[in-house]
Structure 1
């Protein structure tokens, strides 16, 4: 088997696409509608948050960072999908493939980090309400938002640097979009460093994000059960959207792991397509809806912005 360095591969071919005839125009229209809704909804919430000083509070600033990330991740996926759906030849240049990996993996990582920061913010607001303003200063909020972007960016750059230096035995990716694990599976060279880096980073994420999130919600639940009715109502109203978003995104990532790590060739093609795109599609659609409807301040400001009412 001939080995070729990934820097010499000019393009990758996608094996997950199949001929659907004229139905591709309907699929194109549906996905275009999804993308338009995602862009308009997230952009609206970003503008509303930035323009209204009443929303310049830690919780809403973290939400604004979340919405920016969803625009970023969606732009890394949907335009690419739209081109591939209409194209008869499903290929992508190597450089564009790695750029897409950078966008999608950064989106996933930033999403988890922002959700973790939001958990910490809700923990302080509910468990230590009198000390909240002392603990959650503007400097600390700025630092947390910067870290939720900087650390994932650096981690993904290292990941792509390791993958792009591998020697490959082929250029066929059996996915709808570029995926780092699919490229690693094409490698003829030793992938030990890649595997070790992936395990270490996963371990760091679990210890640094998952465990603190679980801990904060255990503490919040204790306050809900032992506190007054007013405290419980405040906890439920502010934590329900965040918890729903976290669970939805976690399930989406779990579906993605199942899709990429296990052989699902026997599963129906539409199920595989759904599992592979769920975490990149549903979260950007889900978050603006649940936060816009459940958080009163955002809902009121959005109506005021759209209809021009005070």
Structure 2
């Protein structure tokens, strides 16, 4: 039910009501978050620093992994600091501008994940199916173009969505989530949001199309790798972690989108919160662990980085 009509200019602050029914456990959540967020930052920064500081890791695959970790830090920075503050605050509010920035950061990061995983799939396709041409195709310029694609396309999509949201006249200021979310703000509109919905669905379909494209390319890779032991080993070593990341990100974001659009209000608030947070909790911590622990070259350099003083390993 819509709230009483307000003048558009009067909606300067939004109220986030996602924590209202769980505030009795806020110190537990705060303690967990103060442990989890630094751990997530540490894991991502370790992988980033390891890849940047070792020339042998300056290969396209590792640079794309580095990009994935940078994006994880970018996206979570739009949520965790504000969330931790809200856990200790009595009023859970966010300014209109702050809300738009949070939407932009969180969701452009989610789209950037898809873009990065897409170029990683392309890189693996070239490495496995066209190994002799790999270095002539995946040049430094091509890698730079791919990374630019990973960031610019989500930024353009989200900037367009923010402009469409900013044009809406709002009839309320309460967002029933832990953070600002596109559909939640659009639901506060006094009038039709057809244009917002159409553009939003186009973006969603385009990026889930990325996932379908990746799965199809990997089906082709699986058929290709069955022909040789070396090919199967390369696929398991480099492509399986990629598939795990893709399934994780796709499931998490699909969870969030479907819940935002069609979720039932009869579910407990704690279930609402988990469904809203899943794509901000799991991918940012799982990605550096998957690649840092599974890829032998990265794992060895991480171990050297963390323990060289203790065991006397020199660079």
TM-score of the pair, normalised by structure 2: 0.94
Q: Within 1, Cα distance between the matches of 2:24 and 2:137?
A: 58
* Alignment partner, residue 219 of structure 2: 218
* Shift, 1:202, TM fit: 2.8
* Alignment partner, residue 295 of structure 1: 295
Q: Within 2, Cα distance between the matches of 1:247 and 1:143?
A: 25
Q: Within 2, Cα distance between the matches of 1:251 and 1:199?
A: 17
Q: Is the 8 A contact 1:127 1:219 kept in 2?
A: no
Unpaired segments ≥5 residues, structure 1: none
Q: Is the 8 A contact 2:22 2:269 kept in 1?
A: no
Residue 86 of structure 1 pairs with residue 75 of structure 2: no
* Shift, 1:19, TM fit: 5.3
Which residue, 75, 78, 83 being the options, matches 1:76? 78
Q: Within 1, Cα distance between the matches of 2:21 and 2:142?
A: 52
* Shift, 1:200, TM fit: 2.5
* Alignment partner, residue 248 of structure 2: 248
* Alignment partner, residue 259 of structure 1: 259
* Shift, 1:18, TM fit: 2.2
* Alignment partner, residue 237 of structure 2: 237
Change (3 A) 1:18 1:216: same
Q: Is the 8 A contact 2:18 2:178 kept in 1?
A: yes
Alignment: residue pair count? 307
* Shift, 1:91, TM fit: 1.1
Q: Within 2, Cα distance between the matches of 1:20 and 1:160?
A: 30
* Shift, 1:21, TM fit: 5.7
Mean alpha-carbon deviation: is it higher for 198-207 or for 44-53? 198-207
* Alignment partner, residue 16 of structure 1: 18
Residue 276 of structure 1 pairs with residue 279 of structure 2: no
Q: Within 2, Cα distance between the matches of 1:108 and 1:128?
A: 30
* Alignment partner, residue 207 of structure 2: 205
Unpaired segments ≥5 residues, structure 2: none
Considering only aligned residues, what root-mean-square deviation do their CA atoms show, in Å?
A: 1.5
* Shift, 1:257, TM fit: 1.7
Residue 139 of structure 1 pairs with residue 135 of structure 2: no
Change (3 A) 1:120 1:15: same
Which residue, 169, 172, 178 being the options, matches 2:171? 169
Q: Is the 8 A contact 1:3 1:188 kept in 2?
A: no
Q: Within 2, Cα distance between the matches of 1:63 and 1:8?
A: 44
- CA shift digits 1:18-69 (9 cap, x unpaired): 2556632221010111100011110111111111000000000001100000
* Shift, 1:93, TM fit: 1.0
* Shift, 1:189, TM fit: 2.4
Q: Is the 8 A contact 1:15 1:173 kept in 2?
A: yes
Mean alpha-carbon deviation: is it higher for 260-269 or for 25-34? 260-269
- 1:60-139 aligned at under 5 Å gives the runs 60-139=62-141
- 1:150-189 aligned at under 5 Å gives the runs 150-189=152-191
* Shift, 1:197, TM fit: 1.3
Mean alpha-carbon deviation: is it higher for 24-33 or for 70-79? 24-33
* Shift, 1:176, TM fit: 0.7
Q: Is the 8 A contact 2:21 2:269 kept in 1?
A: no
